[in-house]
């Protein structure tokens, strides 16, 4: 029995390691392709022709980073709300546990991906001169460094919590749940970043998004606390 258990643990560890390695490699390759594509569009005649054909302009990176940031926030809010629904067991009887957890995982990683694209697009912005250092080290960027820095910290924490899905068996269910409380900090940091640094935060649609998702998250947290008691 002990030998079988050890073998299963080793198999689970190997599967998690392979999944993690594949995710990291896929993300790295995707990032390199994005950077290479952007460089070609900016620095080669063929790229300029493609950009003209696609109606790309100097403002395209700015439009893209705004839209990617909005979608990333939607995905993060959806992941947070979905996680709370799972913890309150409101959907336990309607959706299989494995499928519900997989959807939570997918939403989380999509939020990470869109947030990364949201940041990388700033490298080609013609108004603010962002560098990779500005995008990776909090609180030093050229535009509202304090609030953008909170967004960078939120991204790191979001990546950590998303990564924990692949290491759930290794760190244990209890520690995994404890680590997932960081998700609330991620949501708060992302909201502060969006409200204080986002140029669209004054729009009615964005205000509805911030207030609507915030109220749903607050309601589900209080509901979870009441159910727990």
Is pLDDT of 227 > 90?
no
pLDDT single digits (tens) 93-145: 777 877 888 888 888 998 998 899 899 888 888 788 888 899 999 999 999 99
Flag whether pLDDT at 30 surpasses 70: no
pLDDT at 124: 82
Give the burial class of 105: count Cβ atoms within 10 A of its Cβ; 0-12 exposed, 13-18 middle, 19 or more buried: middle
- Whether 34 and 120 have beta carbons less than 8 Å apart is answered as yes
Task: Provide the pLDDT for residue 186.
Answer: 95
Measure the CA–CA gap between 37 and 39, rounded to whole angstroms. 5
Which pTM does this prediction carry? Answer: 0.76
């Amino acid at each position: 029995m002990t030998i079988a258990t050890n073998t299963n643990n080793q198999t689970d560890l190997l599967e998690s390691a392979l999944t993690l390695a594949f995710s990291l490699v896929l993300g790295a390759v995707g990032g390199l392709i994005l950077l290479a594509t952007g460089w070609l569009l900016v620095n080669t005649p063929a790229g300029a022709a493609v950009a003209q054909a696609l109606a790309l302009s100097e403002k395209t990176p700015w439009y893209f980073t705004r839209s990617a940031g909005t979608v990333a926030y939607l995905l993060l809010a959806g992941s947070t709300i979905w996680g709370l629904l799972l913890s309150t067991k409101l959907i336990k009887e309607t959706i299989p546990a494995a499928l519900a957890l997989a959807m939570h995982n997918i939403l989380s990683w999509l939020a990470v991906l869109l947030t990364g694209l949201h940041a990388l697009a700033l490298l080609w912005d013609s108004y603010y001169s962002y560098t990779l250092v500005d995008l990776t080290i909090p609180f030093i960027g050229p535009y509202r460094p304090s609030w953008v820095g909170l967004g960078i910290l939120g991204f790191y924490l979001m990546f950590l919590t998303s990564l924990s899905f692949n290491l759930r068996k290794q760190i244990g269910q209890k520690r995994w749940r404890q680590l997932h409380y960081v998700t609330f900090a991620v949501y708060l940091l992302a909201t502060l970043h969006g409200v204080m640094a986002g140029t669209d935060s004054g729009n009615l649609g964005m205000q509805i998004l911030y207030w609507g998702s915030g109220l749903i998250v607050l309601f589900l947290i209080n509901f979870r606390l009441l159910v727990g008691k």
